[in-house]
Amino acid sequence: MRVTLISARTIECNGDLFLLAPSFEGVAAGQRLWSNYLHHIGESTILGPYSAGTELEFGLAPASYCTWTAPRPSSGSNARVALRAPGVWDIWWEDYRDADFNDLVVRVEVLPVER
């Protein structure tokens, strides 16, 4: 899996992005993938490999005055997940309470298995 920070529309709630589940070799559930995500837009990281059908759960933990609940799971009401193409999802997060769901956009892609 490749995880890419696509875009952000916030300036005050810079925080951290976590992998909440599952664990895999070298990365424990709850591990921070990026600290200060606004400084890393355009960057990618590779996770896995995972068995087919494994569901990943990410969590957004904004900082500043936006910390009223953290981390905000990608399966919760503070995130919207959109299937863009087979094996490609975008996660649109809300970091505060304005319901614009554009504060951090993350793309998750299934990569072909290298043999």
Domain residue ranges in the chain = 2-109
pTM of the full structure:
0.85
- CATH assignment, 2-109: 2.60.120
Q: What is the pLDDT of residues 3-15, one digit of tens each?
A: 999 998 876 788 8
Distance in angstroms (rounded) separating the CA atoms of residues 101 and 73: 13
Across residues 13-20, what is the average pLDDT? 88
Q: Which residue has the higher pLDDT, 97 or 115?
A: 97
AA letter at 81: V
φ/ψ of 56, rounded to 5, equals -100, 145
pLDDT at 115 over 80: no
DSSP tally for the chain: helices H, then strands E: 0, 9
What is the model's pLDDT at position 62?
85
CA end-to-end span of the chain = 15
Determine the pLDDT at residue 92: 94
Whether 99 and 90 have beta carbons less than 8 Å apart is answered as: no
Residue indicated by tokens 């992998």: 19
Residue 3 CA to residue 54 CA, distance in Å, equals 15
**pLDDT tens for residues 49-75?**
888 888 899 998 888 777 666 678 888
Nearest of 29, 12, 2 to residue 104 by alpha carbon: 12
CB 82 within 8 A of CB 90: yes
Residue 54: alpha-carbon gap to chain centroid:
16
